[in-house]
Amino acid sequence: MEVIADYNKDFYAWLMKNADLLRQHKFNEVDIEHVAEELESMGKSEKRIDILELLEDSPSLHHELGERITIAKARLNAEDETGIDKNEFPEICPFTFEQLLKKDFLPE
């Protein structure tokens, strides 16, 4: 079954596909067992996932996260931590998404 393969290969894509099937009332096409499993898991505990682990489990998120990355919150956090006005920090992130994901990345 294609949906199960997607579940094991790309969780986010599987999730979006099943959400769409539910909205279209195509209940016979929904991966019921895995949906039920995920709902049970959500109910038992909240899980904080490292961003790299999340991207490993759901490769299709990489593109979406790259497009949506903003530094407004980072500017506010930097202002809080350094005492430097947030307007002194760049409005657009000067680093690529790939650089930000590297554990050993240090800006020059």
Please check whether residues 44 and 79 belong to one and the same domain. no
Q: Are residue 6 and residue 42 in the same domain, yes or no?
A: yes
Specify if 80 maps to a domain.
Answer: yes
Note the pLDDT of residue 47: 53
In a domain, 61, yes or no: no
Over its C-alpha atoms, the chain yields an Rg (Å, rounded) of: 19
55 and 62 in contact (C-beta within 8 Å)?
yes
What digits encode the pLDDT tens for the residues 8-29? 888 889 999 999 999 999 999 9
pTM (global) more than 0.85: no
pLDDT tens, position by position, 80-102: 889 998 888 887 778 888 898 88
CA–CA distance, 1 with 31 (Å, rounded to integer): 9
Per the domain annotation, does 107 fall within a domain? no
Q: Strand, coil or helix: what is 54?
A: helix
Q: Is residue 32 part of a domain?
A: yes
* Between residues 27 and 55, the one the model is more confident about: 27
Instruction: Please give the residue range of the domain that contains residue 13.
Output: 2-48
pLDDT at 54 over 90: no
- The answer to whether residue 56 is domain-embedded is no
The count of structural domains within the chain is: 2
Residue with the bigger pLDDT between 33 and 74: it is 33
